[in-house]
Chains A and B, each alone.
Chain A
Amino acid sequence: AQSVTQLGSHVSVSEGALVLLRCNYSSSVPPYLFWYVQYPNQGLQLLLKYTSAATLVKGINGFEAEFKKSETSFHLTKPSAHMSDAAEYFCAAGGTSYGKLTFGQGTILTVHP
């Protein structure tokens, strides 16, 4: 069975600091991996996706993630946090059952001045 673990339900950073949100997956087959972001009162928005074409994936709003098979990780990073990055972030995996996404628990990112 596929599973996704996000380490840290809450992450707090200062504006301008590095953002690092951790995601590890467990899968019997190489998965497709996604990061979604949810702003208050909005739906989940796709930030970026890994589809096996390249291990370093760039997404919207300056975010990127690196697929590391040896570590079964897909951590999300951004060099410099902005106040507008405050939201909840979800890591998700697909590939073992057609169309079905498996989500991590979510990480709430707080950015303080």
Chain B
Amino acid sequence: EAGVTQFPSHSVIEKGQTVTLRCDPISGHDNLYWYRRVMGKEIKFLLHFVKESKQDESGMPNNRFLAERTGGTYSTLKVQPAELEDSGVYFCASSQEALQGYEAYEQYFGPGTRLTVT
């Protein structure tokens, strides 16, 4: 079974440019999450999709970030325009439908996309 995949693995862009990150969750996982780790800080939650709907986007930093999940499959996270403070590692995770409460938190992570804004 394929794991969570993310593309690209690295991206270097200039301030003001646009970048789109992609995440393919494990097949059949309805729940998809985005997290971010800024250098030296903890991994922080950005948002949560259930199928194609946004369940919780309380962690999105500002309106320069736009996440979509077309058809409840893969997801994209677009940053437009990018700022220096957006640099970090963006992780995607997925989990199956939670039949028991803890299953929503048993998440499988991708390798991350390292974004550098110069």
Contacts and interface: CB of A to CB of B under 8 A. Distances in A.
Interface residues of B, number: 31
Contacts, number: 76
Contacts of B41: 105
Contacts of B44: 103
Contact of B42 (A36, A41, A105): A105
A98 B56 contact: yes
Interface stretch (A15-23, A64-72, A89-97): A89-97
Interface in B74-97: 91, 93, 95
Contacts of A41: 111
Interface in A1-55: 4, 32, 34, 36, 41-46, 49, 51
Contacts of A46: 106-108
A100 B111 contact: no
A48 to B, nearest CB: 11
Contacts of B102: 32, 49, 51, 94
Contact of B104 (A43, A45, A94): A94
B112 interface: yes
A99 B48 contact: yes
